[in-house]
Amino acid sequence: MNFQLTEEQLAVQAAARDFAQSELWAGVIERDEHQKFPAEQVKKMGELGFLGMMVSPEYGGGGMDTVSYVLAMEEISKVDASCSVIMSVNNSLVCWGLEKYGTEEQKQKYLTKLTTGEMIGAFALSEPEAGSDATSQSTTAEDMGDYYLLNGTKNWITNGSTASVYLVIAQTDPGKKHRGINALIVERDSPGFVVGPKENKLGIRGSDTHSLMFTDVKVPKENRIGEDGFGFKFAMQVLAGGRIGIAAQALGIASGAYELSVKYSKERKAFGVPISQHQAIQFKLADMATNIDAARLLCLQAAHDKDAGLDYAKSGAMAKLFASKTAMDTAVEAVQVHGGYGFVKEFHVERMMRDAKITQIYEGTSEIQKIVISREILK
Protein backbone atom coordinates (compact mmCIF):
# COMPACT_ATOMS: atom_id res chain seq x y z
CA MET A 1 0.00 0.00 0.00
CA ASN A 2 1.29 3.45 -0.93
CA PHE A 3 1.04 5.79 2.08
CA GLN A 4 1.52 8.87 -0.08
CA LEU A 5 -1.73 10.53 -1.17
CA THR A 6 -1.87 11.67 -4.79
CA GLU A 7 -2.31 15.33 -5.71
CA GLU A 8 -5.88 14.57 -6.72
CA GLN A 9 -6.66 12.91 -3.39
CA LEU A 10 -5.10 15.81 -1.48
CA ALA A 11 -7.20 18.25 -3.52
CA VAL A 12 -10.41 16.36 -2.68
CA GLN A 13 -9.43 16.32 0.99
CA ALA A 14 -8.74 20.06 0.95
CA ALA A 15 -12.03 20.82 -0.82
CA ALA A 16 -14.01 18.75 1.68
CA ARG A 17 -12.19 20.35 4.61
CA ASP A 18 -12.82 23.80 3.22
CA PHE A 19 -16.53 23.06 2.70
CA ALA A 20 -16.97 21.49 6.13
CA GLN A 21 -15.10 24.19 8.03
CA SER A 22 -16.73 27.10 6.20
CA GLU A 23 -20.27 25.83 5.70
CA LEU A 24 -21.10 23.22 8.31
CA TRP A 25 -20.20 24.75 11.69
CA ALA A 26 -22.86 27.41 11.33
CA GLY A 27 -26.16 26.03 12.59
CA VAL A 28 -24.84 22.59 13.50
CA ILE A 29 -25.98 22.89 17.13
CA GLU A 30 -29.42 24.15 16.08
CA ARG A 31 -29.84 21.39 13.49
CA ASP A 32 -28.98 18.84 16.16
CA GLU A 33 -31.25 20.35 18.79
CA HIS A 34 -34.29 20.71 16.52
CA GLN A 35 -33.67 17.61 14.40
CA LYS A 36 -33.49 19.91 11.39
CA PHE A 37 -32.54 18.23 8.11
CA PRO A 38 -29.53 20.07 6.58
CA ALA A 39 -31.32 20.77 3.29
CA GLU A 40 -29.15 23.71 2.18
CA GLN A 41 -25.96 21.93 3.12
CA VAL A 42 -26.98 18.78 1.24
CA LYS A 43 -27.83 20.86 -1.81
CA LYS A 44 -24.37 22.39 -1.67
CA MET A 45 -22.80 18.95 -1.27
CA GLY A 46 -24.56 17.95 -4.48
CA GLU A 47 -23.25 21.02 -6.29
CA LEU A 48 -19.71 20.33 -5.08
CA GLY A 49 -19.85 16.71 -6.22
CA PHE A 50 -19.89 15.06 -2.77
CA LEU A 51 -23.05 13.03 -3.39
CA GLY A 52 -21.84 10.88 -6.27
CA MET A 53 -18.09 10.91 -5.74
CA MET A 54 -17.24 7.44 -7.02
CA VAL A 55 -19.75 7.34 -9.88
CA SER A 56 -18.36 7.53 -13.39
CA PRO A 57 -18.54 11.00 -15.03
CA GLU A 58 -20.71 9.36 -17.71
CA TYR A 59 -23.52 9.44 -15.12
CA GLY A 60 -22.63 12.81 -13.66
CA GLY A 61 -20.35 11.51 -10.91
CA GLY A 62 -16.86 12.51 -9.86
CA GLY A 63 -15.15 9.32 -11.03
CA MET A 64 -13.06 9.32 -7.86
CA ASP A 65 -11.53 6.44 -5.98
CA THR A 66 -12.61 5.12 -2.58
CA VAL A 67 -9.55 6.65 -0.90
CA SER A 68 -10.77 10.13 -1.94
CA TYR A 69 -14.23 9.26 -0.67
CA VAL A 70 -12.81 8.23 2.73
CA LEU A 71 -10.84 11.48 2.96
CA ALA A 72 -13.93 13.57 2.17
CA MET A 73 -16.10 11.58 4.59
CA GLU A 74 -13.57 12.17 7.37
CA GLU A 75 -13.49 15.93 6.82
CA ILE A 76 -17.26 16.34 6.68
CA SER A 77 -17.80 14.06 9.70
CA LYS A 78 -15.36 16.14 11.75
CA VAL A 79 -18.00 18.86 11.82
CA ASP A 80 -21.42 17.31 11.13
CA ALA A 81 -21.97 13.55 11.16
CA SER A 82 -25.61 14.07 10.16
CA CYS A 83 -24.46 15.49 6.83
CA SER A 84 -21.98 12.67 6.38
CA VAL A 85 -24.49 9.86 6.91
CA ILE A 86 -26.75 11.39 4.26
CA MET A 87 -23.71 11.55 1.99
CA SER A 88 -22.62 8.02 2.86
CA VAL A 89 -25.98 6.39 2.15
CA ASN A 90 -26.32 8.25 -1.14
CA ASN A 91 -22.76 7.48 -2.29
CA SER A 92 -21.84 4.05 -1.07
CA LEU A 93 -25.18 2.28 -0.77
CA VAL A 94 -27.45 3.80 -3.41
CA CYS A 95 -25.18 5.21 -6.16
CA TRP A 96 -22.58 2.46 -5.92
CA GLY A 97 -25.23 -0.27 -5.94
CA LEU A 98 -27.00 1.21 -8.95
CA GLU A 99 -23.84 1.81 -10.94
CA LYS A 100 -22.48 -1.66 -10.25
CA TYR A 101 -25.66 -3.71 -10.72
CA GLY A 102 -28.30 -1.47 -12.32
CA THR A 103 -29.42 -1.60 -15.94
CA GLU A 104 -28.51 1.21 -18.34
CA GLU A 105 -32.13 2.46 -18.14
CA GLN A 106 -32.03 2.50 -14.32
CA LYS A 107 -28.75 4.40 -14.39
CA GLN A 108 -30.04 6.99 -16.85
CA LYS A 109 -33.30 7.42 -14.96
CA TYR A 110 -32.00 7.53 -11.38
CA LEU A 111 -28.23 7.56 -11.09
CA THR A 112 -27.71 10.72 -13.14
CA LYS A 113 -29.98 12.60 -10.72
CA LEU A 114 -28.66 10.96 -7.55
CA THR A 115 -25.09 12.07 -8.28
CA THR A 116 -26.06 15.75 -8.37
CA GLY A 117 -28.46 15.76 -5.43
CA GLU A 118 -31.47 16.38 -7.68
CA MET A 119 -32.65 13.12 -6.16
CA ILE A 120 -31.62 11.68 -2.77
CA GLY A 121 -31.51 7.94 -2.26
CA ALA A 122 -32.34 5.62 0.63
CA PHE A 123 -31.48 1.99 1.28
CA ALA A 124 -34.13 -0.08 3.03
CA LEU A 125 -33.04 -3.43 4.42
CA SER A 126 -33.84 -3.29 8.17
CA GLU A 127 -37.26 -4.21 9.50
CA PRO A 128 -38.89 -4.11 12.95
CA GLU A 129 -38.00 -7.80 13.42
CA ALA A 130 -34.96 -8.06 11.16
CA GLY A 131 -31.90 -5.89 11.79
CA SER A 132 -28.74 -7.91 12.30
CA ASP A 133 -30.61 -11.02 11.20
CA ALA A 134 -31.08 -9.53 7.77
CA THR A 135 -32.09 -12.69 5.89
CA SER A 136 -35.33 -12.88 7.96
CA GLN A 137 -37.17 -10.48 5.68
CA SER A 138 -40.94 -10.14 6.27
CA THR A 139 -41.49 -7.54 3.57
CA THR A 140 -42.80 -9.37 0.54
CA ALA A 141 -42.45 -8.65 -3.17
CA GLU A 142 -44.95 -10.99 -4.77
CA ASP A 143 -44.23 -11.76 -8.42
CA MET A 144 -47.32 -10.68 -10.37
CA GLY A 145 -45.95 -11.17 -13.89
CA ASP A 146 -44.89 -7.76 -15.11
CA TYR A 147 -44.73 -6.18 -11.65
CA TYR A 148 -44.05 -6.98 -7.98
CA LEU A 149 -46.62 -6.35 -5.27
CA LEU A 150 -44.75 -4.92 -2.31
CA ASN A 151 -46.11 -5.27 1.24
CA GLY A 152 -44.44 -4.72 4.60
CA THR A 153 -42.61 -2.31 6.86
CA LYS A 154 -39.02 -1.13 6.91
CA ASN A 155 -37.48 0.43 10.02
CA TRP A 156 -34.85 3.06 10.74
CA ILE A 157 -34.39 4.25 7.19
CA THR A 158 -31.90 7.08 6.73
CA ASN A 159 -33.08 9.78 4.29
CA GLY A 160 -36.51 8.26 4.95
CA SER A 161 -38.56 11.34 4.16
CA THR A 162 -36.18 13.30 1.94
CA ALA A 163 -35.37 10.53 -0.51
CA SER A 164 -37.16 10.21 -3.82
CA VAL A 165 -35.61 6.83 -4.66
CA TYR A 166 -35.55 3.84 -2.30
CA LEU A 167 -33.69 0.58 -2.80
CA VAL A 168 -36.00 -1.83 -1.00
CA ILE A 169 -35.04 -5.39 -0.10
CA ALA A 170 -37.97 -7.83 -0.01
CA GLN A 171 -38.76 -11.54 -0.03
CA THR A 172 -40.27 -12.94 -3.23
CA ASP A 173 -39.88 -16.66 -2.69
CA PRO A 174 -39.65 -17.65 1.01
CA GLY A 175 -39.00 -21.27 -0.01
CA LYS A 176 -35.64 -20.18 -1.39
CA LYS A 177 -34.77 -18.29 1.84
CA HIS A 178 -32.16 -15.57 1.17
CA ARG A 179 -31.86 -16.72 -2.45
CA GLY A 180 -35.51 -15.71 -2.96
CA ILE A 181 -34.94 -12.07 -1.94
CA ASN A 182 -35.04 -9.19 -4.45
CA ALA A 183 -33.82 -5.58 -4.45
CA LEU A 184 -36.35 -3.16 -5.98
CA ILE A 185 -36.17 0.51 -6.87
CA VAL A 186 -39.24 2.20 -5.40
CA GLU A 187 -40.20 5.78 -6.15
CA ARG A 188 -41.41 8.06 -3.36
CA ASP A 189 -44.77 8.85 -4.93
CA SER A 190 -45.77 5.21 -5.56
CA PRO A 191 -49.39 4.64 -4.48
CA GLY A 192 -49.52 2.61 -1.25
CA PHE A 193 -46.14 3.84 -0.03
CA VAL A 194 -46.31 5.80 3.26
CA VAL A 195 -43.39 7.29 5.21
CA GLY A 196 -43.80 6.96 9.00
CA PRO A 197 -43.02 9.64 11.61
CA LYS A 198 -39.46 10.84 12.18
CA GLU A 199 -37.52 8.99 14.89
CA ASN A 200 -36.41 11.14 17.85
CA LYS A 201 -32.77 10.08 18.14
CA LEU A 202 -29.82 10.26 20.55
CA GLY A 203 -27.43 11.40 17.83
CA ILE A 204 -27.09 12.29 14.14
CA ARG A 205 -30.28 14.21 14.80
CA GLY A 206 -30.02 16.30 11.64
CA SER A 207 -30.47 13.18 9.52
CA ASP A 208 -34.04 11.97 9.02
CA THR A 209 -34.72 8.41 10.09
CA HIS A 210 -38.17 6.95 9.38
CA SER A 211 -40.07 3.73 9.05
CA LEU A 212 -41.53 3.02 5.62
CA MET A 213 -44.86 1.26 5.05
CA PHE A 214 -45.76 -0.50 1.82
CA THR A 215 -49.31 -1.64 1.12
CA ASP A 216 -49.91 -3.27 -2.25
CA VAL A 217 -47.30 -1.06 -3.91
CA LYS A 218 -46.89 -2.01 -7.56
CA VAL A 219 -43.23 -2.01 -8.56
CA PRO A 220 -42.54 -2.59 -12.27
CA LYS A 221 -40.32 -5.57 -13.07
CA GLU A 222 -37.82 -3.29 -14.77
CA ASN A 223 -37.13 -1.78 -11.32
CA ARG A 224 -35.60 -4.99 -10.02
CA ILE A 225 -31.82 -4.80 -9.56
CA GLY A 226 -30.00 -7.81 -10.97
CA GLU A 227 -31.37 -11.28 -11.58
CA ASP A 228 -34.36 -12.71 -9.73
CA GLY A 229 -33.16 -13.69 -6.22
CA PHE A 230 -30.06 -11.48 -6.27
CA GLY A 231 -31.42 -9.04 -3.64
CA PHE A 232 -29.67 -10.38 -0.54
CA LYS A 233 -26.28 -10.71 -2.25
CA PHE A 234 -26.83 -7.19 -3.57
CA ALA A 235 -27.45 -5.91 -0.04
CA MET A 236 -24.35 -7.67 1.30
CA GLN A 237 -22.14 -6.37 -1.52
CA VAL A 238 -23.42 -2.85 -1.09
CA LEU A 239 -22.94 -2.99 2.69
CA ALA A 240 -19.37 -4.27 2.38
CA GLY A 241 -18.47 -0.96 0.72
CA GLY A 242 -20.89 1.07 2.85
CA ARG A 243 -19.02 -0.03 5.96
CA ILE A 244 -15.88 1.71 4.65
CA GLY A 245 -17.91 4.93 4.46
CA ILE A 246 -19.23 4.54 8.01
CA ALA A 247 -15.72 3.69 9.21
CA ALA A 248 -14.60 7.00 7.69
CA GLN A 249 -17.51 8.74 9.36
CA ALA A 250 -16.42 7.33 12.73
CA LEU A 251 -12.84 8.38 11.99
CA GLY A 252 -14.05 11.91 11.29
CA ILE A 253 -16.06 12.12 14.52
CA ALA A 254 -12.98 10.97 16.43
CA SER A 255 -10.68 13.44 14.62
CA GLY A 256 -13.13 16.29 15.19
CA ALA A 257 -13.37 15.58 18.92
CA TYR A 258 -9.59 15.20 19.16
CA GLU A 259 -8.85 18.49 17.37
CA LEU A 260 -11.23 20.36 19.66
CA SER A 261 -9.61 18.70 22.68
CA VAL A 262 -6.07 19.70 21.67
CA LYS A 263 -7.17 23.29 21.13
CA TYR A 264 -9.13 23.48 24.37
CA SER A 265 -6.36 21.91 26.44
CA LYS A 266 -3.97 24.67 25.38
CA GLU A 267 -6.47 27.40 26.26
CA ARG A 268 -7.97 26.20 29.54
CA LYS A 269 -5.92 26.88 32.64
CA ALA A 270 -6.09 24.94 35.90
CA PHE A 271 -3.62 25.18 38.79
CA GLY A 272 -1.86 28.06 37.04
CA VAL A 273 -1.01 26.26 33.81
CA PRO A 274 -2.83 25.20 30.64
CA ILE A 275 -4.38 21.77 31.29
CA SER A 276 -2.27 20.49 28.36
CA GLN A 277 0.65 20.62 30.76
CA HIS A 278 -0.94 18.06 33.05
CA GLN A 279 0.25 14.59 32.18
CA ALA A 280 -3.21 13.07 32.64
CA ILE A 281 -4.49 15.27 29.81
CA GLN A 282 -1.37 14.70 27.69
CA PHE A 283 -1.87 10.93 27.93
CA LYS A 284 -5.49 11.21 26.89
CA LEU A 285 -4.41 13.17 23.81
CA ALA A 286 -1.68 10.62 23.09
CA ASP A 287 -4.17 7.74 23.24
CA MET A 288 -6.63 9.61 21.03
CA ALA A 289 -3.99 10.44 18.41
CA THR A 290 -2.66 6.88 18.33
CA ASN A 291 -6.09 5.29 17.93
CA ILE A 292 -7.10 7.83 15.29
CA ASP A 293 -3.98 7.14 13.23
CA ALA A 294 -4.60 3.39 13.50
CA ALA A 295 -8.25 3.87 12.49
CA ARG A 296 -7.23 6.02 9.53
CA LEU A 297 -4.78 3.37 8.34
CA LEU A 298 -7.49 0.70 8.52
CA CYS A 299 -9.91 2.94 6.58
CA LEU A 300 -7.32 3.64 3.91
CA GLN A 301 -6.37 -0.04 3.74
CA ALA A 302 -10.00 -1.02 3.12
CA ALA A 303 -10.44 1.77 0.56
CA HIS A 304 -7.23 0.71 -1.14
CA ASP A 305 -8.41 -2.93 -1.25
CA LYS A 306 -11.65 -1.85 -2.91
CA ASP A 307 -9.88 0.39 -5.43
CA ALA A 308 -7.38 -2.38 -6.23
CA GLY A 309 -10.17 -4.88 -6.95
CA LEU A 310 -9.26 -6.99 -3.90
CA ASP A 311 -11.75 -8.52 -1.48
CA TYR A 312 -12.65 -5.81 1.05
CA ALA A 313 -15.37 -7.45 3.18
CA LYS A 314 -12.88 -8.20 5.98
CA SER A 315 -10.80 -5.02 5.80
CA GLY A 316 -13.97 -2.89 5.62
CA ALA A 317 -15.44 -4.67 8.65
CA MET A 318 -12.16 -4.26 10.57
CA ALA A 319 -12.05 -0.57 9.72
CA LYS A 320 -15.64 -0.08 10.88
CA LEU A 321 -15.16 -2.11 14.06
CA PHE A 322 -12.02 -0.25 15.10
CA ALA A 323 -12.93 3.25 13.91
CA SER A 324 -16.34 3.15 15.59
CA LYS A 325 -14.78 2.13 18.92
CA THR A 326 -12.20 4.89 18.44
CA ALA A 327 -14.99 7.41 17.78
CA MET A 328 -16.82 6.40 20.94
CA ASP A 329 -13.72 6.29 23.17
CA THR A 330 -12.29 9.53 21.79
CA ALA A 331 -15.54 11.45 22.09
CA VAL A 332 -16.05 10.32 25.71
CA GLU A 333 -12.50 11.42 26.56
CA ALA A 334 -12.98 14.69 24.67
CA VAL A 335 -15.88 15.50 26.99
CA GLN A 336 -13.60 14.70 29.95
CA VAL A 337 -10.85 16.99 28.64
CA HIS A 338 -13.44 19.79 28.38
CA GLY A 339 -14.69 19.21 31.94
CA GLY A 340 -18.05 20.86 32.64
CA TYR A 341 -17.87 22.78 29.37
CA GLY A 342 -17.81 19.44 27.58
CA PHE A 343 -21.22 18.68 29.01
CA VAL A 344 -22.93 21.66 27.37
CA LYS A 345 -23.81 22.08 23.72
CA GLU A 346 -21.68 25.11 22.77
CA PHE A 347 -18.47 23.12 22.89
CA HIS A 348 -19.65 20.44 20.39
CA VAL A 349 -18.02 17.43 22.02
CA GLU A 350 -21.21 16.28 23.78
CA ARG A 351 -22.89 16.12 20.34
CA MET A 352 -19.92 14.22 18.95
CA MET A 353 -20.21 11.74 21.83
CA ARG A 354 -23.89 11.19 21.02
CA ASP A 355 -23.18 10.96 17.27
CA ALA A 356 -20.34 8.49 17.79
CA LYS A 357 -22.60 5.81 19.24
CA ILE A 358 -24.52 5.13 16.04
CA THR A 359 -21.34 4.13 14.21
CA GLN A 360 -21.24 1.01 16.44
CA ILE A 361 -24.81 0.13 15.47
CA TYR A 362 -25.75 0.86 11.87
CA GLU A 363 -24.49 -0.86 8.73
CA GLY A 364 -23.92 -3.86 10.98
CA THR A 365 -23.33 -3.64 14.74
CA SER A 366 -19.83 -4.19 16.14
CA GLU A 367 -20.86 -7.74 17.00
CA ILE A 368 -21.87 -8.31 13.36
CA GLN A 369 -18.51 -6.92 12.16
CA LYS A 370 -16.82 -9.50 14.39
CA ILE A 371 -18.95 -12.22 12.79
CA VAL A 372 -17.93 -11.02 9.31
CA ILE A 373 -14.24 -10.79 10.26
CA SER A 374 -14.09 -14.15 12.02
CA ARG A 375 -15.90 -15.93 9.17
CA GLU A 376 -13.38 -14.49 6.71
CA ILE A 377 -10.48 -15.58 8.93
CA LEU A 378 -11.80 -19.09 9.41
CA LYS A 379 -13.17 -19.87 5.94
Question: Which helix or strand (DSSP H or E) is residue 89 part of?
Answer: none
- Most distant CA atoms of the chain, gap in Å: 78
Q: Which is nearer to ligand CAA, 208 or 350 (CB)?
A: 208
Cα–Cα distances in angstroms (integers) from residue 163 to residues 227, 297, 309, in the given order: 25, 33, 30
Tell me the C-alpha distance between 82 and 7, whole Å. Answer: 28
Give φ, ψ of 111 to 5 degrees. Answer: -60, -40
Q: Look at residue 179 and give the partner it binds from ligand FAD, ligand CAA, none, a contact being a CB closer than 5 to 8 Å depending on partner kind.
A: ligand CAA
96 touches ligand CAA by CB under 6 A: no
- To ligand FAD, the closest distance from the beta carbon of 133 in angstroms equals 6
166 touches ligand FAD by CB under 6 A: no
68 touches ligand FAD by CB under 6 A: no
246 touches ligand FAD by CB under 6 A: no
Tell me the C-alpha distance between 98 and 342, whole Å. Answer: 42
Q: Among all residues, which ones are annotated catalytic? A: 363
Local structure of 121: helix, strand or coil = strand
Q: Look at residue 135 and give the partner it binds from ligand FAD, ligand CAA, none, a contact being a CB closer than 5 to 8 Å depending on partner kind.
A: ligand CAA
Q: What is the DSSP letter of 207?
A: S
Give the binding range for ligand FAD (CB under 6 A) out of 17-25, 124-132, 142-150, 337-345.
124-132
Count of residues in the chain: 379
Give φ, ψ of 80 to 5 degrees. Answer: -145, 100
- To ligand FAD, the closest distance from the beta carbon of 134 in angstroms equals 7
238 touches ligand FAD by CB under 6 A: no
Q: Look at residue 201 and give the partner it binds from ligand CAA, ligand FAD, none, a contact being a CB closer than 5 to 8 Å depending on partner kind.
A: ligand FAD
Q: Which is nearer to ligand CAA, 212 or 313 (CB)?
A: 313
Handedness of CA 151, 157, 160, 166 (dihedral sign): negative
- CA 51-55-60 angle, 5° bins: 75
Binding flags for ligand CAA, 208-247, as an x/- string (CB under 6 A): ------------------------xx--xx-xx-------
368 touches ligand CAA by CB under 6 A: yes
Give φ, ψ of 147 to 5 degrees. Answer: -150, 165
Q: Residues in the site for ligand CAA, rule: CB under 6 A?
A: 85, 89, 123, 125-126, 132, 134-135, 158, 178-179, 232-233, 236-237, 239-240, 313, 362-364, 368, 371-372
